[in-house]
Structure 1
Amino acid sequence: MTNAAGERRWGALPTRVVAIDLADGADDLRGLEDYVFVHVLVLVDGEPVGAVRVPVEGDSCPAASIAAAVNAELGDDLLRVVLLKALADASPGQAPDLDALTLNGRRSSKPFTSMTVAVCTRNRPERLVKCLEALVGQLTPARVLVVDNAPSTDATATLVAERFPDFEYVVEPKPGLDHARNR
């Protein structure tokens, strides 16, 4: 491979660098016959999310290949940026409609509402009731996980099983909030 001055570039693979704002959509990139890869800086409404390297296929880089690389390598970061934008754009005191989130007018193939709310507790079932009641119906698509940290009784397990059967319950035998959060 040689550079513009005709000098040999050992070990370099010709790479085209582009910036794509996913809020504007992504099209196939064409005219890449001299390149092996495309290095894509990924933005959402001007907010940098990350970068991916995508191989050139023939003389183009299909939008589907770019999307697959973005989903595989930047999925969590992309989700974070889209959710933060939705929160910032929501009316004061009102949560965004997570089921309606789209990127460039298209819904994601995987739901944006995939999240877990972890409630760590230890020997306080009467106070836990208020917390869990507040979560009922608020986070319908979310997984609620009650982590009982080194319990001395089965009161919390009984409470969750009887009054909140849709919530998950696990025990972390090692005492300490860090252990409960890690569980």
Structure 2
Amino acid sequence: FISTSCTGCQCCASGTECITTSGVVQCLDPCATYTVVNDAWRSTENTDQTILHCDRNIVWSGWYRFYLGQTSARMPEKCVAEDRCGADVPLWITEPHPVQLNEIVTRTVCNAWSGSCCYFTSHTIQIKVCSGYYVYKLQQPTACWLAYCTGTVRYFNDRSGGLDHYVWINWEKNPGKDLKMSKRII
């Protein structure tokens, strides 16, 4: 999706971004021009510390969509325990993902280490909600052995009203209590 050519990022319509492809700067939709990141080791369930990863060594440029296998994934919105996601220090976002289609938001990325959910200097990234998934404009972390975490998303599609409704369902185990379910309609 190309809306117009531009020389600066001020000219792009809402929901698009100035992106350089093949040396040409254009207003493009990040939902259609992203790079796939499909690393099983990024899972919040991964506690294997045999090989540690460092996202500071990656030159992050443009927009990215996370997958875990064949399933779309997203960054966690709550603190992830240290020594997960293939790194000593997992990265997570401190605020919820955007909910309005094509909305782009800036979110703070924190890191879990030494008993703190935001031990090292935090940084910001941008997130855009696309139709059924998210794309991220990632930044280089401030130190090594930090890595972006991902978790899978469960979506239920209800076409009864002609519109797609997505529900994010999160199960949490409360010590000494039953499972608690929270949901958010997107």
TM-score normalised by L of structure 1: 0.27
**More strand as a share of residues:** 2
**More helix as a share of residues:** 1
TM-score normalised by L of structure 2: 0.27
Q: Decide which structure has the larger Cα Rg and report it.
A: 1
The one of the two structures with greater contact order (alpha-carbon pairs below 8 A, sep at least 6) is 2
